[in-house]
Chain A
Amino acid sequence: MIEVKLSSLKKTKPHEYALRFLLGGLVTAVAGLIAEHYGPVIGGLFLAFPAIFPAAATMIESHEREKKEQAGLPPGKRGRMAAGVDAGGAALGTIGLATFALILWRGLPSYPPAIVLVVACIGWGIVGMGLWWLYRRV
């Protein structure tokens, strides 16, 4: 069952939001610079760079550890496991990401960009969520 837990937003500290913004912005700008200097073939690789993945996994682990410490329990390996499960979800998501890129690659030269972008986003969602659904069933 998919849930939306807005209370999780309070656990993220202001400097963590700032770090994600900074990393996301930096990688996007650097990807643009690489494309300008080395061309679209190399630059395009960085559109699928795991930009904030290390920071996100670290945050998940530290939040779980804090939760344990607040409850007076030893941190144990729960934080690491939570980060591992998140990484598993990201691995499924990368197949959706490849679908997104494939639709852009094949669609952009022939169809209006706005429509291609919408179809690519839908493709990403369907493939990513479909694989997650299958994974839960198997």
Chain B
Amino acid sequence: MSSLLIRFIIGGTVVSLFAVLGDVLRPKCFAGLFGAAPSIALATVGLTIAKYGRVYAATEARSMVLGSIAFLAYAWLACRMLLHRDARSPVVTTALLPVWFGVAFGLCWVCLK
């Protein structure tokens, strides 16, 4: 329970810090880079290594490469839809989340089975 709470606090803090960086930087396209910052990984990699060791963390990182490709597909589609379709951000970004799940788990099944 305490390790979950530590993860929650560190994760919330690191994610918020990157979000603040994204808020203050201009132009907006550059600030967007921080929307895909490795915030969750930075918040947890130390805890993971301490608890399970370096090889376990490296295995997680290998899957993270696939998760990043899924994020690329998700963000690219969100960008196209927001710029070229008449749909609001909350609808587009939420409706596209299954794309992340589909690509991430699909790649995981194909590459790591």
Contacts and interface: CB of A to CB of B under 8 A. Distances in A.
Contacts of B29: 85-86, 88-89, 92, 132, 135
Interface residues of B, number: 86
Contacts of B78: 53, 57, 84, 87, 90
Nearest to A32: B7
Interface in A31-80: 31-33, 35, 40-54, 56-58, 60-61, 77, 79-80
Interface string A90-120: 1111111110111011111100010001001
The binding surface of chain B is classed by DSSP as helix
Interface of B: 3-5, 7-16, 19-20, 22-49, 52, 54-72, 74-76, 78-83, 86-90, 92-94, 97, 100, 104-105, 108, 112
A40 B79 CA distance: 30
15 contacts: A6-B24, A21-B16, A27-B15, A29-B4, A40-B60, A47-B63, A53-B93, A57-B78, A84-B81, A91-B32, A97-B36, A98-B72, A101-B38, A109-B58, A113-B54
